[in-house]
Each structure stands twice: as structure tokens, then as C-alpha cells.
Structure 1
């Protein structure tokens, strides 16, 4: 009897694996171009482990931003439920408890009830929407990706639905009509190109980050890893990179990021999570920040 692959992300390895992916690689050039270092980041909007490393990547940007660029690629974690099955996953409901456990492990709010109430049939629609957003600029695309992740992990919104994608686009300053046209046109092929590149590079799951320099030397950081591992990979390829000092005050951090989880604020401010939570609650009580209260933790928002 054939065993179908599972969708559950492994908390120990910090990896969400693609169904049927092979660990073979081809000789593909992915060298950095604009800055000394490039992070070629294979991800998926519904990848809980990818949500789990957002704090580390934000800190890396604040400390080493002048030295690296991030190139986002979509990988296709959930083609359809027909691709999954077997002992661990029998359908969307099987993912709900796993998401709850992943959120607790990463200390990032994740509400698994989405998979009981309004499950996604595939992660391809939001992935294609992101490729469409990239056609309107990387900065807006990054904001769009963040917004749809907030929608799915905290707000239990099915981001395979066009109405939710359109709302996220509107909220992040994208041209919704253009996004729709590209979503149904150019972005489909761009998404397929991402899948092809992932196969060529042997990407088996997410997060997968290839840290590369201008000569195409590369270091693979596979799965959710501590901050030091991302920093070490960057410094190994570019020892000249000097750590930047940055303002850790709430006004500065919320000036850079319109929303932060408690974990993200803790990592960026250098506080313990409990200390950060108390500080954020005090700021909210003083009317200086707001929040969205999800089942498993708030999303703090600048005014």
C-alpha cells in the first residue's frame, strides 16, 4: 500500500516538508547581485515554521540590513489535499492540533481552529497572489506577505479566497485590479518558475534559506534555526559585515514595523518574553499602541 506524504511540520527539525520532494540538486547559479549577500528564501504563506523565524529575520535585517537582500520564492507546500494522507494527516482537521503545538513551540500566536472552521484547499492561490504582488514592487509584496500570514495564523481567515487576498492587497497599498489581472496571468507562470527552481536546488521543505555571495558560494540554512545560525552564515560569507546598532525603543521598532508579536518585540528589544509582554500591555494601557487579540496571543499594532 502506497503511503502518502504528510503535511505536518516537524517541530524538532523546524521544517514543513513538500510532498514527494527529492533531495537532488542541479548546478544553478543563485549568486547575490545588488548587495554582497543574498538570502534566497523558499517559503509558503501557510508554513508555521516560517512564521516561527520571522523574529530572527527581522533582527538580522536591523543588524545587518546594509549587507544583504532577501529574495522570496514560493515553494508549494499544499498543492491539494489529494496529495496528503496516511497515518498522521487524514485531512485539514489533522493540522489543527499541530498548529497549536507549533505556535506554543515558537512562541508565535497560531490559531489552529482555521483548519476546523474554514480550511484552505491549497496554498497555491496565496502563493500566486504573492508573485502577483511582487510585480508591484518587493516592498509592497513583503508587506502583503506579512498581512496574509497575520490573516491566516491569527485571524483564521482563509487566504485561498480571493476576497481575503483582495482585502490584504488593499490594506498594503497594492493596486487590487492589477493584482487580480496578474494573479490570473503572469503570476501563474512566475509561481511555476519558483517551483522549478526549488526542485533544481533540491528544496524539500520550508523554511529553506540559501545564503549566497557574489561568487555563488552558498550556505544552506534548513528549517527553523536560532538567530546565531543566520548571523554566522552571513558572516562566514562576508566577514567584513559590521553589526549595526539600532534603537530598541518601542517608538523606533513600531516605526519600522507596523505590527509585532510579543515574541518579535522581545527579540528585537532584547527583553525576555515575559518582560516584553508586560511592557507592551503597559503601552497599550497608556494608549500608545493597539492590538488584535487572537486566541493564542496578541498582535501589537502602531497607531
Structure 2
């Protein structure tokens, strides 16, 4: 297996899932539109990017602490066009299985690599286009949809390139399925292609890549997976006056904001030590407040009812 030729084999040290395509060196010429919030985060990602799953705890905390100062713009990067686009040198799906298991341990986020042995995706383009279709309908529901398909692929071993799983995720978050299908087969592809084009102009070579920008053209870039403080520092460098909000860290409030949480996420958001977090989540599951889903590489907990 040649790591360099397989975009799904991410570099654990850098936290990057890199594409093999060359990026245009036009970063300085690219125009990034401003926002009415003080800091825009342009987040280049992919539904099946394991390192992107690895930074969910950090991003969720950023939204809680700096949600008044930031707006996150999700852009799809096209991690896996197909298994043949690199002249046959990209490897094969089964190569990814053990890597995902390794990544799961590294990021302490549950991922079951057996997907690549049982029902591998041919491409990450269909779920990426589906996300753009969801955005056309409702931006908040689109973010929930992206989380849902990520849980499907990483924890439930679902091939999210298949429409049946895209549809199930869309129904769960309350999207209109007929409209989603129309947009998926229509304008969403062009929006996805715009993301790919902008990514090349910005010099994006892998995922996650996060740009922090303001309306004066100031810019910070974080490549790969980094601890929370790196993202916080980038925000404060762009806007030193950004105010960190206090938020309730009890389990009811956190699960009312985020209906599913891993132990790593709960630990990050609640400020509770990792082992203590898992113990508390397990106790809440025994009491019937949460439902626990366990994979071979960790668990995720879901609120059984609306809490908070």
C-alpha cells in the first residue's frame, strides 16, 4: 500500500488527509467574501475524512464559546473522486480499514474501519453533493445532516454514497426529501464544483483545512487536526476582541445542543476528565437518559428525549 497515493490514508502526525491533485498557486489572488460576524471560518472538509471526524470536539466547543463572533462556512473538498482517478495507483478500499481503526485510537473518536471490507464507498462525491443540496434548503439542517452521515459512515458502517442512506439521514434531520432529490440531481453539483474550484484557488491540499478571515483580508490557516487552543488562538489573532462566552456544562444542556456526543466530545465540552466523562455517560445510559451505541473502537451516546 502506498500511503502517498491514497487520500484516505491520512497522516496521523499532521492530522491531514491529503489529495493527490496539485493545487493552483493562486492563494493571494483569491477573493474571500466577508461576513457580518467578525471572523469567518472557511472549513474545507469531506464527509469521509477521518481527521475531520477527529476535530468534531474542537469545532463543537468553538461554536459554544465563540459562536457570537464566528460563522463557519462548510466547503466540500472532494477527497475521493473514485478508485481509479490516480492512474490506478490509489490502492484499494481494504487498505483503508486498518488505517481507520488506527486513526480512531489516535483521535479517541469511534471509527469502525470494517466499512471498507463490508460495503466500501466508490466515491465521496455523492454525500458531498448531498450536503450542498441540503445547504440549499436549510443551512442549519445541512450541518445536522453532515453530522448524521458522518456517524453513519464512521460508527454504523453505512455506505453513504448510496441514496438510501442519504435519504435516511435527511429524514432524521427534517429535510424535505423531494426537494433534496431535486437539488441533488440539479444545482447542487455545480455548487460542489464551485467548492472544488475555490479550494484549488486557495491552495487546499488536504483536509481538514480551516481559514480564519475578516473583512479586511487578514487570514490565518490551520492545516490538519490540532488541539482546541490552536483554533482559539487563530480567532483571537484575527479579532483580539472576540469574547469567549461561558456556557452551561451540565449534560442536559450539552445534549440539548448536540443530541449525540462521544466520550471525547463530552470531555472537551464539559471540562471533565476523559475517564470520568465516560463513566458519567455510562451511568446516564443505565438510568435511561441516554442511549449508548458501541463499536469495536468506542461508543457514542444519544439523548433519549429532549432534555434541558
* TM-score, normalized by the shorter chain, greater than 0.5: yes
Q: Indicate the SS of the match to 1:299.
A: strand
- Equivalent residues of 1:19, 1:83 under 8 A apart: no
Looking at structure 1, the residues matched to 284 and 4 of structure 2 have their Cα atoms a distance apart, in angstroms, of: 49
Cα distance, 1:90 vs structure 2: 2.3
Looking at structure 1, the residues matched to 288 and 83 of structure 2 have their Cα atoms a distance apart, in angstroms, of: 44
Looking at structure 2, the residues matched to 36 and 139 of structure 1 have their Cα atoms a distance apart, in angstroms, of: 20
Cα distance, 1:23 vs structure 2: 6.1
Q: Indicate the SS of the match to 1:135.
A: helix
Cα distance, 1:295 vs structure 2: 2.1
Q: Structure 1 residue 5 and structure 2 residue 25: aligned?
A: no
- Equivalent residues of 2:5, 2:91 under 8 A apart: no
User: 1:274 — aligned with what?
Assistant: 275
User: 1:102 — aligned with what?
Assistant: 103
Looking at structure 1, the residues matched to 128 and 202 of structure 2 have their Cα atoms a distance apart, in angstroms, of: 19
Looking at structure 2, the residues matched to 275 and 25 of structure 1 have their Cα atoms a distance apart, in angstroms, of: 48
Cα distance, 1:11 vs structure 2: 0.4
User: 1:121 — aligned with what?
Assistant: 122
User: 2:50 — aligned with what?
Assistant: 48
User: 1:228 — aligned with what?
Assistant: 229
- Equivalent residues of 1:31, 1:212 under 8 A apart: no
Q: Tell me the C-alpha RMSD between the 2 structures.
A: 1.3
Deviations 1:251-281 (A, max 9, x none): 1100111101111001001111111000111
Looking at structure 2, the residues matched to 23 and 198 of structure 1 have their Cα atoms a distance apart, in angstroms, of: 9
- Equivalent residues of 2:23, 2:201 under 8 A apart: no
Alignment of structure 1 residues 239-258 onto 2, 5 Å: 239-258=240-259
* TM-score for the superposition, normalised by structure 1: 0.96
* TM-score for the superposition, normalised by structure 2: 0.94
Cα distance, 1:31 vs structure 2: 3.9
Q: Structure 1 residue 58 and structure 2 residue 60: aligned?
A: yes
- Equivalent residues of 1:31, 1:38 under 8 A apart: no
- Equivalent residues of 1:266, 1:272 under 8 A apart: yes
Structure 1: which 5+ residue stretches go unaligned? none
User: 1:29 — aligned with what?
Assistant: 31
Cα distance, 1:40 vs structure 2: 0.3
